[in-house]
Copies of this chain bind each other. A is one copy, B any other.
Amino acid sequence: MNPQRTSRGILVCVSGPSGVGKGTVIRRLRSLEPGILHSVSATTRPIRPGETDGVSYHFVSRTRFEEMIAEGEVLEYDEYCGNYYGTPAAPLEEAVSRGTAVVMDVTVPGSLAVLERMPDAVSVFLLPPSFEELRNRLMRRGTERPDEMEKRLEKARSELGKASLFDYVVTNDSVEAAAGLIQSILRAERSRYKRQAGIEETLIQTE
């Protein structure tokens, strides 16, 4: 029906410093655009009460995860507190080739790794409204020790410094506004000529 709908989908990487609210903004975006698929990460950490395998994460063994890395089956991965976290490539690439829009919540280095493998992905960097606000959000997440807090803030500063490597920068001053902006970015990107190449020829030929 809609000629705007491209045959190929689109991958949107949403990144930004820890504490900026990626997860909340993505949940709101998915309620605005229910057709969007959320990429499910794989992890080696044990499943927690209330979590569902394949929904919260794909829970896999360390041996399996390392096999996935060796075989190039993960788009990006990271090790955190002794556990691997990463994005299985196959389901995501299949969804995009089926025409689905996929959004992923990904670390800054993870996002850059994804863009290298899928250069037509769209990258969005979420900024906090102020550095003070980021500090408050990190504190509310309950980091008690001052030295650990300082380490987190140092990491946030270094992550913020990578914003220029992203296509878009969205300030998360309100979840509603930030999600709405990412929705606009998704719509705009779908309308790019390069994602609809040849559409005018089809039109002339079916005259």
Interface residues of A (CB under 8 A from B): 2-4, 125, 127-132, 157, 160-161, 163-164, 166-171, 173, 177, 181, 183-185, 187-189, 191-193, 196-197, 199-201, 203-204, 206-207
Q: List 19 A-B contacts (CB under 8 A).
A: A2-B173, A3-B127, A4-B170, A4-B177, A127-B199, A127-B203, A131-B206, A131-B207, A157-B204, A161-B204, A163-B200, A169-B193, A169-B199, A169-B200, A170-B191, A184-B187, A184-B191, A185-B187, A187-B188
The answer to whether B181 touches A191 (Cβ under 8 A) is yes
Given contacts A127-B200, A167-B193, A168-B188, 9 further A-B contacts (CB under 8 A): A3-B129, A3-B171, A4-B181, A130-B206, A131-B204, A160-B203, A161-B201, A181-B191, A184-B184
CB distance from A137 to the nearest CB of B (A): 14
- How many whole Å from A184's CB to the nearest CB in chain B? 4
Interfacial chain B residues near A157, Cβ < 8 Å: 204, 207
Nearest residue, chain B, Cβ from A153: B207
Whether A199 contacts B163 in the complex (CB less than 8 A), given A2-B173, A3-B129, A188-B189, comes out as yes
> Could you tell me if A193 and B181 are in contact, using CB atoms closer than 8 angstroms?
no
A203 & B173 in contact (Cβ 8 Å cutoff)? no
CA A190 to CA B207, docked complex, whole Å: 36
Contact of B161 with A200 in the complex, beta carbons under 8 Å: yes
Q: Is there an interface contact between A166 and B193, defined as CB atoms closer than 8 Å?
A: yes
**In the complex, are the beta carbons of A197 and B128 less than 8 A apart?**
no
Q: Which residues of B contact A125 (CB under 8 A)?
A: 193, 200
List chain B residues, Cβ under 8 A from A188: 168, 181, 184-185, 187-189
